[in-house]
A and B are shown apart, each in its own frame.
Chain A
Amino acid sequence: MKLIRKKWIIILCLVGVSAVVIFYHLEGSRSRPQELDNMLSGATPAAEGDVELVEAMFYESLSDNSVQCSLCFRNCVIPEGERGFCRNRENKEGKLYTLVYGQASAVHVDPVEKEPIHHFLPGESMLCIGTASCNFRCKFCHNWHMSQRSIEELNIREYMPPKKVVSRAQNHGLPAISFTYNEPTVFYEYMYDTAREAQKEGLKVIFHTNGSLNPEPLRKLLPYIDGVTVDLKGFEDSYYREMTQGELDTVLETLQIIEEKDVWLEIVNLVLPGLNDDPETVRDMSRWIIDNLDSKTPVHFSRFFPSYKMQDLSPTPVGTIEQLAQIAKNEGLKFVSIGNVPGHRLNSTFCDNCGSRIINRHHFTVRNLKIDDEGKCMDCGHEIPGVWR
């Protein structure tokens, strides 16, 4: 018996040690890149080109060295050494830092129409920036390669502080910068500083958001923003919870604040068949937009195609999208368009007065503009709201 017990102990020890060695080896260096380590060890921001450690905005220190972030609706309480839900903000010794300042993992030139934002510099291109991670977990995310990864999991080729972003856009002759790809809320400080820099240089700034910013940071940011595209993913809280781990009320509040601040606003609704395509819900959504925002707020209904974790769902029937667009128009929304259906008539923008096709759009391509720089329809002279130059 004793011999058997000894053998068991030896075996268990061997297995345990092996498991630890293998696990440790396979885990590899999951530690942060050296730059981040430098940042978090308190290295001082140095000359341009060096990685900067930036303290986060909108948080509150608590006792026992915890902090509470107040950037988005989650209001995460973050113990020391931990990160918030977005994985981009870390508590170090009772101070909250953003880990993605200047860490642009994606910097590309894209057409404005791709945003989508239709009443904003049509036919132009802009410099688009994204970093890492997100504060939602949408099951149909289009940019999951970035949004569902933390900063350590991405290859950041180039440190791009705000001035560098602006000069990059200027070098390309681009009139605008867009914060997009992953949720800009989670790189708020980077977006904020870059937007201010861009405005100084006369560039326009837009961002594409899930609408989860808290009111205070949103109000602080909006003076430097020229346009916002907000994803209104659905109009039921249960849908938001199940499909995105987000919250509808926050998004609605965001929409109202943007409207209140008179920043150009467009809304995108990605329609998933059988999940958020109920006509009555869309009717309620349309009424809400008219009652709380403006009947002239452009609304885009986008067709879903299988993506990320929703690989087994069929694409949205075009008939469904058309029906929902018609409901929105019937309720009184003036500018309703359809996305991801190239060649559809509602890719284009029509004058809400004379019905003339003022922007002839085919997918991302603008074929013809019948609107002047003042934003007036060339056929009837009616003023179309938007940012036209």
Chain B
Amino acid sequence: MYGLWTRDTGCLALKKKQEVKNKDFQNRSSYHRVIKSVIFITGLGGIVGQLILIRELMITFYGNELTWGLVLASWLVFEAAGSFTVSHVKYFKNSSLYIIFIILYALFLPLALYFSRSIDVYLFHILPGETAGLFQLFISSLILVGPVSFVHGSLFPLAAEALSEVKTESLSFGIGPAYIWETAGTLTGGVMFTLVLARFFHSFQIGMGIILLHLIGGLILLGIYYPDYKKLKLIFLSIFCILFVSGIFLTNIIQDKTLEHQFSGQNVVFYENTAYGNIVVTREREEHTFYYDGRPLFTDPAYDLGGVADFVHLSLTAHQKPKNILVLGGGIGGIINEVVGHQPESITYVELDGRLPEITQKLPLSLVPRELALPQVNVIQADARFYLRQTEKKYDLVIIGFLEPETLQTNRLFTREFFSLAADRLKEQGLMAFSLPGSLTYLGTELASYSRTMQLTAEDVFQQVSVIPGERSIYLASNSSFELNPQLLWNRMENRGLQDNFMSPGYLEYRLSQERQEWFLGELQEGRGEINSDLRPVGFFQALNYWGRTFAPRLQEYLFRLQQYSEVEFLGGLIVLCVLVIILIRLFFFKKSRVLIYAVGTTGMCALAFDLLILFVFQTLFGFIYQMMGLLLAAYMGGMAGGAALEPYFSNRVSAPDKLFKSLEAVIILLLGLFFGLVLIMQQLAGTGQTAVLIMSFTIFAVLSGGVTGMEFPAAARIRESTGRKEESTKIRAGLLYGADLLGGWLAGILISLLMFPLLGLKMTLLFLASLKVISLLFLFMGE
């Protein structure tokens, strides 16, 4: 990703010199400053473009962390390809290419945005409401992200060349400042996106801003390189003015149009990106459906009465006299309406995204405003885990609304740690209740494993756990004993005046039948269950597995088979694979460089791993990555840039280039361990009110880890120059190292999001990465 620019700093410093033909601006340092401002713009445009594309793709394609990993990996591949390709172009003037690519980025980004909402329809003929699968996601991310990131990747070497053309010194003079200014733009863009853009503007408004900025950049460059091309400048200026004037109007039209495609056949009446996700409301006849990150959340007023009432009434009648109820997430749109029928004294509804209940007040809804206006209902905008840690209140029932551990954000409500928090907030005889996908007919192994994992996780905390099988299975857990006798539950319903709903003694007999219960428990034994925890989000993996059964059955089968291996076996297998890779490198590459290539590749893996794991762990502990993504990514990239910029300083202070390199390898291993320790501390402190401090700690770590990994590439380039074949050109040298770094990052993007973090957890993932670095350090010490 942006690490690629860090890599460029080292290797393109050794690139060919290009004669500057236009001696008129050769010594005009003012043009140097102006070009730097263009570089700043492209840096800003790059990070913002990436973030809005990721955000849109997450909405279109089932927004979970797998989407991030795939999109980031795609961006990385094409960005490097762009940088590598353009550096080999000989027959065009750098200045022309630079202007063209700036304009191309301004063109490709809005196109990518436009099609991100409908690519599944155009490419794969996905029907309205049909969910696209993993293959569609993968191909779409390549097609959408590819051209944009390819073009953006091309900009850096062109920028560096442009800077260096102003003076006649070596190219390295251009790369350093270009990198620094681009990173400054990146950082600024990341912060702006987090604090302002994401909250107040939709994607097309942001995209329009990027277009305008790049047009300015193009105009500036035209002024420098082609001062006599007045007509062209006039065209640029005209386009800029038209877009500037019509921008708001035009972007809103495109926004509405693309939403129509995305929600084909429905009437979109509300759209907003909050700090936590995307909310869209559609209206059909008298009903409003709320979508959150592209998935239907609830329908007002006609919610799924069968499902909601079933869950609520079975849960509440399992308790003798529930007075104080806590609903965590997913409460509005039916659950509260049903809970109130049991006449509790209080219903506390905790919702992470405070905009959700606020928005319901602005629309002509009939059910939800009524729910929220009930005197016994108290709405609290907070993270559920934070609330449970902070509150001293105790409850008769803690209900987790219709959420599933299908993202890291929601998985954190289904972990052992969370269940412990919930248990502490229960009164005596108190119950915790949640529901997950189930079946009354047949449980496949993926659903059995999913259910078993949740059952085991609850059993790890609570003394009694009962599961009522259904289209959605209901999990009831308590540290006191409770009974699920149909007659007892019916009596309680009658006592609470609820005998007129669709429940009846016969219905309860059917739902709580002993035969069904035995069948279900028997099916669960076929599943592979493990305890779901914060740092080993197996629940998330199982949910992904379940989703995969629908949308990528073949891949799901392979993933499922991987579960039969223990952590140690899996880790061992991966390490054996790495050793095989080393053997391959040994056979193929010139011997003095083979270890270096392996080291650079594994550092590329660690670089993206740090990037992703920081985001994933932040999501797990705090749950609001949507907003903070820009800041964390920018911090990491800033660190990488800083590291690359500081590399010459450290290199000059060591006797041999490989000493610095070995030191950096060792530091990376230490950082992997430090990260784990930091996360353990964060886990204890998250939700205790130290949020700002914890976020700052994460950010500092992101800068630190980025700095170390960023410093390694130019160090590797330096070693390569001194130890490589004399006849090897700089371009080829750069390409080898580049390719290794790229491959490492790409592998990390796929493996970590899909497999390692969900299945092995944080500890084993870090152990694996540390093993890779230990192997490379050993080889370095063994010498060639």
Chain A: CB-nearest residue to B506: A365
Cβ of B284 within 8 Å of any chain A Cβ, yes or no, is yes
Cβ of A326 within 8 Å of any chain B Cβ, yes or no, is no
User: A309, B130: Cβ atoms under 8 Å?
Assistant: yes
Which residue of B131, B285, B510 contacts A310 across the interface (Cβ within 8 Å)?
Answer: B131
User: A139, B441: Cβ atoms under 8 Å?
Assistant: no
User: B526, A155: Cβ atoms under 8 Å?
Assistant: yes
Which residue of B265, B503, B510 contacts A111 across the interface (Cβ within 8 Å)?
Answer: B510
In the A-B complex, the 9 residue pairs with the smallest Cβ-Cβ separation, listed nearest first, are A313-B129, A274-B265, A314-B289, A319-B285, A363-B502, A311-B131, A342-B502, A365-B504, A362-B502
User: B296, A313: Cβ atoms under 8 Å?
Assistant: yes
CA distance A149 to B286 in the complex (A): 38
**Interface-centre pick from B302, B305, B441, B561 (highest chain A CB count, 10 A):** B441
B100-133 to A contact mask, C-beta < 8 Å, 1/0: 0000000000000000000000000001111100
CA distance A315 to B287 in the complex (A): 10
Of residues 356 to 388 in A, which have CB atoms within 8 Å of B's CB atoms? 362-367
User: A14, B128: Cβ atoms under 8 Å?
Assistant: no
Total interface residues on B, using CB and 8 Å?
58
Of residues 103 to 141 in A, which have CB atoms within 8 Å of B's CB atoms? 105-106, 108-111, 125, 130, 139
CA distance A243 to B526 in the complex (A): 32
Q: Give min CB distance, B323 to chain A, whole Å.
A: 27
User: Given A7-B587, A145-B442, is A312 in contact with B304 using a C-beta cutoff of 8 Å?
Assistant: no
User: Given A145-B447, A342-B309, is A318 in contact with B287 using a C-beta cutoff of 8 Å?
Assistant: yes
Q: Give min CB distance, B277 to chain A, whole Å.
A: 15
Q: Give min CB distance, B727 to chain A, whole Å.
A: 15
Find chain B residues with CB under 8 A from A46 CB.
none
Q: Give min CB distance, A151 to chain B, whole Å.
A: 12
Find chain A residues with CB under 8 A from B443 CB.
145
Cβ of B95 within 8 Å of any chain A Cβ, yes or no, is no
Find chain A residues with CB under 8 A from B291 CB.
312, 314
CA distance A110 to B469 in the complex (A): 14
User: B130, A145: Cβ atoms under 8 Å?
Assistant: no
Which residue of A8, A15, A311, A314 contacts B266 across the interface (Cβ within 8 Å)?
Answer: A314
Cβ of A202 within 8 Å of any chain B Cβ, yes or no, is no
User: A146, B130: Cβ atoms under 8 Å?
Assistant: no
CA distance A309 to B130 in the complex (A): 6
Cβ of A203 within 8 Å of any chain B Cβ, yes or no, is no
B498-513 to A contact mask, C-beta < 8 Å, 1/0: 0001111011001001
Q: List 25 A-B contacts (CB under 8 A).
A: A10-B587, A26-B558, A108-B441, A109-B513, A143-B442, A145-B439, A153-B444, A155-B523, A243-B127, A273-B266, A275-B127, A275-B128, A305-B304, A310-B129, A311-B62, A311-B131, A312-B296, A313-B296, A314-B291, A314-B296, A315-B296, A319-B286, A320-B284, A341-B302, A363-B507
User: B504, A367: Cβ atoms under 8 Å?
Assistant: yes
CA distance A108 to B519 in the complex (A): 9
Which residue of B265, B286, B289, B501 contacts A315 across the interface (Cβ within 8 Å)?
Answer: B289
User: B444, A11: Cβ atoms under 8 Å?
Assistant: no
Cβ of A242 within 8 Å of any chain B Cβ, yes or no, is yes
CA distance A273 to B266 in the complex (A): 9
CA distance A272 to B264 in the complex (A): 13
User: A274, B266: Cβ atoms under 8 Å?
Assistant: yes
Cβ of A288 within 8 Å of any chain B Cβ, yes or no, is no
Chain B: CB-nearest residue to A28: B561
A3-46 to B contact mask, C-beta < 8 Å, 1/0: 00001101100110010000000101000000000000000000
CA distance A28 to B60 in the complex (A): 34
CA distance A366 to B302 in the complex (A): 22
Q: Give min CB distance, A4 to chain B, whole Å.
A: 8
Q: Give min CB distance, B578 to chain A, whole Å.
A: 13
User: A342, B306: Cβ atoms under 8 Å?
Assistant: yes
Cβ of B440 within 8 Å of any chain A Cβ, yes or no, is yes
Find chain A residues with CB under 8 A from B284 CB.
273, 314, 317, 320
Cβ of B15 within 8 Å of any chain A Cβ, yes or no, is no
Which residue of B129, B309, B519, B580 contacts A314 across the interface (Cβ within 8 Å)?
Answer: B129
Of residues 298 to 339 in B, which have CB atoms within 8 Å of A's CB atoms? 299, 302, 304-307, 309
CA distance A314 to B443 in the complex (A): 25
Of residues 589 to 616 in B, which have CB atoms within 8 Å of A's CB atoms? none
Chain B: CB-nearest residue to A157: B522
Find chain B residues with CB under 8 A from A365 CB.
502-504, 506-507
Cβ of B25 within 8 Å of any chain A Cβ, yes or no, is no
Beyond A11-B588, A309-B550, A314-B266, list 17 extra A-B contacts (CB 8 Å).
Answer: A8-B588, A15-B584, A26-B561, A106-B442, A110-B510, A111-B510, A153-B444, A155-B526, A181-B442, A312-B131, A312-B295, A312-B296, A315-B296, A315-B302, A320-B285, A362-B502, A367-B504
User: B550, A144: Cβ atoms under 8 Å?
Assistant: yes
CA distance A306 to B437 in the complex (A): 12
User: B266, A146: Cβ atoms under 8 Å?
Assistant: no
Cβ of B294 within 8 Å of any chain A Cβ, yes or no, is yes
User: Given A145-B441, A309-B551, A312-B296, is A317 in contact with B285 using a C-beta cutoff of 8 Å?
Assistant: yes
Find chain B residues with CB under 8 A from A310 CB.
127, 129-131
Cβ of B202 within 8 Å of any chain A Cβ, yes or no, is no
User: Given A145-B439, A275-B127, A317-B284, is A7 in contact with B588 using a C-beta cutoff of 8 Å?
Assistant: yes
